[in-house]
A and B are shown apart, each in its own frame.
Chain A
């Protein structure tokens, strides 16, 4: 035994657990083949901290084949339960390299050890493992069969092929007589989010033991019969089943692509008093967001005015706010009156969210909404005031212009910003009223502030007059930067050489915001030459980004020529600025403003950025490449799965998961088998488990028929 191994062994024999725990970390430094033996010793320690430390050390040890063999052998230990469990955990942590040996061992292990081996295979998403687990459903031992069925519930993490194989074998196992196996099978089918026909689960709904599992398993189905069954089950006498059904129904409602399914759910939930009571109860349960969300959506479908306060109240809970918002939209215009009544009594954040919602609710009675928003202008709470101001922008009338204009000077920056935006929107729609206000403003205490805002809005709809331009030029030397900025924005909209000449000087403004506004304005005014110089001369990343983007507006070819070389700039901030600008430019291709040649050039430059030494640049570029994937992009995403940075690999995996083509899935699978980092492996399995769009939108009944045809021949053990 080497000196290092002897020293570690001596430490592992000490009475103090902390000393043994620290010693475990030294195992990785032991050369040769003595490390597995020491690892085994540590995995069998009496203290959980020592065992846990050993499971963390195991994946990093050299001579992996021997480590795996030692660990698989440890599964057979009949005395030390701690050792067996730690061996399972270590094998799972080692990942794909442990799968082959574990499968090979299945034939020679006894039943207890086979069960543990099955747990290992369940913990490592791998297609080979899924096949072995499917075979284990026929094992002689009942415990092994049930464990295999449970493990197959995680098969989707190994990709679509695994999900299909697992689903097929689990459906076949439903024919078994073993009730515990059936429970495990149904539970796993639910976790696999299978979209199977209701007929497959219907036989188990009346079984008191299996009902809960059958309801949960049917949650992925979009079969109207399944939706009806789920809705009815929300009134189940068992609170657990009612909750499962509500959660599942909530998913159906949130994802419903057609109104028929919603109508089906509405009719079913409307026919069960117990279900409605259950939904109302759940809608108030703040400690259970999934059930609360389901309850809220069910109430949204029912559309009873008495439920609106509960929905409004939920707008203030981040965990379910989106569901509450959707539920109120399902209600439709009839929700407006009770919604506003409830909002007035709610806390300010909820009141504000409710005002925002009615302001964008399709079919809402505009006069009533305007009245509520105008009342909001008198509210003492800043959140409510700010929201009312913002919503009045698109909804208000000419007469609102004057009262909103007063808020442009509000002390709170949120209100002032919202008022500025709202005045712009209203002034653009009501130019005569804006002109009238402008005349009054010119005689007011500071005509330039409001004047610039109004002229900006007017300029977006009609040419400015000479005296308008003179006012804006005067505003460029105002002592408040926001006025100078507003003047620049207005001049940019007005156009013309005089405006451009005036704006150029603002590039030298001492305020950063004003410089950026000037760069944006020059883009709109078509001053490409100036912007090219700005990009060349500035060292400010924000100005570079803004100027490049503006250059894209003025002259896409020159924007590409300026931004392209900067993606490899040593300063990551500058490179990011260039990458962002190129992404923006490429996304404008659909508008017809950017030629195919420029779009391809942008893509090439984004690919170059993937070689940048700074991972932030790579991640940003990757994100933009992944936003519009094609064959070339897919190949680059695949390459990034091998990037040195774990974060880059995680982002690449996530993007490939979203792409979800067969090619993307193959790339993920190939990388998974080589990936050593557990966090990246988890990212890959999560990405691989995303279901392909074709299946989501395809006909579930057809898919289910195929499966049930396959499954009908299967017999359980």
Chain B
């Protein structure tokens, strides 16, 4: 039984149009849409056709591909099609493993350069990046303010990137509602956020550590802007990608990690059948991936994942 409109005048996403749009989205963003997503795609994108006064989804496909304002329209489409639901201290067990087991490893590896860079790839509205910043500060392993007679301070930097322009803007703003704190202990909320009429604001010492930018995980050139990271969080992002895009994104993440750098994926994600380039690192409570210390990080062609 198909959904029908008695008026028969609404714009319908036909199968061939769905195929064209689906292929275009996966090629550009890596986001894959199975047949079951046709309804959602139609429902979410219909408003764009109305705004642009386009009669069919075929016209919208052409607009995205060749329209003079295509670049801006891609931002609109991505904002409509991506899921942005997240919260602070999500997947607490993994974060505990990161704080207790991964950070000490990174501290040893980065001790001589006294610089730690962590990338939250697919950061959505920024909760993950700020969570990482809080964990770094709480660990007390990386004092970032120098005192006379003590070793030079650490330089800490957390990058957050997302394909959605709207998400990146929200992350930069750093103001959150109640739903973002569903897993945040009250003492941490009080310590690292300030309540104001428009919501909870990230405290300045945390905000200063975090930098945000719009980035497509398939865009290798853009990713180079970030430099290399000691750890990358890419949780619950690859599940939305097709096999080809997943492989491309993993190659990019591998390339962007320092040797010995750690990749943390979501609990339902793995690199099985995607890449053999990472070593498995068994932690007490989690399993993460590590770029081999012996890997030459500069040239993927000779050394990257397959």
Binding site for B on A (CB under 8 A): 16-19, 21-22, 25, 48-50, 52-53, 56, 253-256, 318-319, 321-322, 325-326, 329-330, 353, 360, 362, 386, 390, 394, 413-414, 417-418, 421, 425, 485, 512-513, 541-542, 545, 573, 576-577, 580, 584, 616, 619-620, 623-624, 626-627, 647, 651, 654, 658, 679
- A394→B292 contact, CB < 8 A: no
Q: How far is the CA of A66 from the CA of B216 in the complex (A)?
A: 43
Contacts of B292 in A (CB 8 A): 18
- A418→B19 contact, CB < 8 A: no
Q: How far is the CA of A658 from the CA of B15 in the complex (A)?
A: 11
Name B276's contact: one of A52, A319, A616 (CB within 8 Å): A52
Binds A, one of B34-42, B120-128, B146-154: B34-42
**Given known contacts A360-B6, A414-B50, A679-B243, A542 and B67 CB-to-CB distance under 8 angstroms:** yes
Considering the complex, which residues of chain B in the window 1-22 have a beta carbon less than 8 Å from any beta carbon of chain A?
1, 3-7, 9-10, 15-16, 19-20
Name A626's contact: one of B7, B9, B10, B16 (CB within 8 Å): B16
- B3→A322 contact, CB < 8 A: yes
- B276→A49 contact, CB < 8 A: yes
Minimum CB–CB distance for A685 against chain B, Å:
14
Contacts of A576 in B (CB 8 A): 62, 65-66
Q: How far is the CA of A623 from the CA of B50 in the complex (A)?
A: 25
Q: Does B303 sit within 8 A of A, measured CB to CB?
A: yes
Q: Does B73 sit within 8 A of A, measured CB to CB?
A: no
- B58→A580 contact, CB < 8 A: yes
- A390→B50 contact, CB < 8 A: yes
Q: How far is the CA of A624 from the CA of B19 in the complex (A)?
A: 11
**Given known contacts A318-B40, A542-B63, A394 and B9 CB-to-CB distance under 8 angstroms:** yes
24 contacts between A and B (CB under 8 A): A49-B279, A53-B306, A253-B1, A321-B40, A321-B43, A322-B3, A322-B36, A322-B39, A329-B1, A362-B4, A386-B47, A394-B7, A413-B51, A417-B50, A512-B68, A542-B62, A542-B66, A545-B62, A573-B66, A584-B58, A623-B16, A651-B19, A654-B19, A679-B244
**Given known contacts A394-B9, A542-B66, A545-B62, A326 and B1 CB-to-CB distance under 8 angstroms:** yes
**Given known contacts A321-B40, A679-B243, A360 and B303 CB-to-CB distance under 8 angstroms:** no
Minimum CB–CB distance for B239 against chain A, Å:
13
- B6→A21 contact, CB < 8 A: no
Q: Which 8 pairs of residues, A with B, have the shortest CB-CB distance?
A: A322-B39, A360-B5, A318-B40, A18-B292, A49-B276, A394-B7, A417-B51, A417-B50
**Given known contacts A322-B3, A353-B43, A53 and B9 CB-to-CB distance under 8 angstroms:** no
- B62→A580 contact, CB < 8 A: yes
Minimum CB–CB distance for A216 against chain B, Å:
20
Minimum CB–CB distance for B235 against chain A, Å:
17
Q: How far is the CA of A394 from the CA of B20 in the complex (A)?
A: 29
Contacts of A319 in B (CB 8 A): 36
Name A651's contact: one of B23, B68, B302 (CB within 8 Å): B23
Contacts of B112 in A (CB 8 A): none
Minimum CB–CB distance for A35 against chain B, Å:
17
Contacts of A394 in B (CB 8 A): 7, 9
**Given known contacts A386-B47, A394-B9, A623 and B20 CB-to-CB distance under 8 angstroms:** yes
Q: How far is the CA of A679 from the CA of B277 in the complex (A)?
A: 21
Closest A residue to B56 using CB positions? A584
Q: Does B284 sit within 8 A of A, measured CB to CB?
A: no
Q: How far is the CA of A325 from the CA of B295 in the complex (A)?
A: 52
Contacts of B4 in A (CB 8 A): 360, 362
Q: How far is the CA of A21 from the CA of B37 in the complex (A)?
A: 39
Closest A residue to B68 using CB positions? A512
Contacts of B279 in A (CB 8 A): 17-18, 49
Name A321's contact: one of B10, B39, B68 (CB within 8 Å): B39
Q: Does B188 sit within 8 A of A, measured CB to CB?
A: no
Number of B residues with CB within 8 Å of any CB on chain A: 42
Contacts of B15 in A (CB 8 A): 627, 658
Contacts of A25 in B (CB 8 A): 306
**Given known contacts A413-B51, A542-B67, A624 and B16 CB-to-CB distance under 8 angstroms:** yes
Minimum CB–CB distance for A518 against chain B, Å:
14
Q: How far is the CA of A425 from the CA of B7 in the complex (A)?
A: 12
Considering the complex, which residues of chain B in the window 263-306 have a beta carbon less than 8 Å from any beta carbon of chain A?
276-277, 279-280, 292, 294-295, 302-303, 306
Q: Mark B56-74, 1 if CB is under 8 A from A, else 0.
A: 0010001101111000000
Minimum CB–CB distance for A279 against chain B, Å:
18
Q: How far is the CA of A623 from the CA of B66 in the complex (A)?
A: 18
Closest B residue to A89 using CB positions? B273
Q: How far is the CA of A49 from the CA of B289 in the complex (A)?
A: 12
Name A360's contact: one of B1, B10, B20 (CB within 8 Å): B10
- A573→B1 contact, CB < 8 A: no
Q: Does B113 sit within 8 A of A, measured CB to CB?
A: no
- B16→A627 contact, CB < 8 A: yes
Q: Does B145 sit within 8 A of A, measured CB to CB?
A: no
Q: How far is the CA of A417 from the CA of B15 in the complex (A)?
A: 26
Q: How far is the CA of A16 from the CA of B51 in the complex (A)?
A: 59
Q: How far is the CA of A406 from the CA of B102 in the complex (A)?
A: 59
Q: Counting chain A CB atoms within 10 Å of each CB, which of B5, B50, B63, B303 scores highest?
A: B50
Q: Does B196 sit within 8 A of A, measured CB to CB?
A: no
Minimum CB–CB distance for A270 against chain B, Å:
19
Closest B residue to A513 using CB positions? B53
Q: How far is the CA of A25 from the CA of B303 in the complex (A)?
A: 10
Q: How far is the CA of A394 from the CA of B10 in the complex (A)?
A: 10
Contacts of A541 in B (CB 8 A): 66
Closest B residue to A627 using CB positions? B16
Minimum CB–CB distance for B22 against chain A, Å:
10
Q: A25-B306, A360-B5, A577-B66 are in contact. List 11 more A-B contacts (CB 8 A).
A: A53-B306, A254-B1, A321-B40, A322-B39, A360-B10, A418-B50, A425-B9, A573-B65, A576-B62, A580-B58, A658-B15
Minimum CB–CB distance for A530 against chain B, Å:
21
- B39→A623 contact, CB < 8 A: no
Considering the complex, which residues of chain B in the window 195-251 have a beta carbon less than 8 Å from any beta carbon of chain A?
243-244
- A21→B63 contact, CB < 8 A: no
Contacts of A619 in B (CB 8 A): 20, 23
- A18→B66 contact, CB < 8 A: no
Name A19's contact: one of B47, B53, B294 (CB within 8 Å): B294
Minimum CB–CB distance for A194 against chain B, Å:
21
Contacts of A53 in B (CB 8 A): 276, 306
Contacts of B66 in A (CB 8 A): 541-542, 545, 573, 576-577
- B65→A256 contact, CB < 8 A: no
Q: How far is the CA of A650 from the CA of B24 in the complex (A)?
A: 14
Q: Counting chain A CB atoms within 10 Å of each CB, which of B10, B51, B243, B302 scores highest?
A: B51
Minimum CB–CB distance for A591 against chain B, Å:
15
Contacts of A16 in B (CB 8 A): 294
Closest A residue to B242 using CB positions? A679
Contacts of B68 in A (CB 8 A): 512, 542
Q: How far is the CA of A584 from the CA of B306 in the complex (A)?
A: 42
Q: How far is the CA of A620 from the CA of B16 in the complex (A)?
A: 9
Q: How far is the CA of A624 from the CA of B14 in the complex (A)?
A: 12
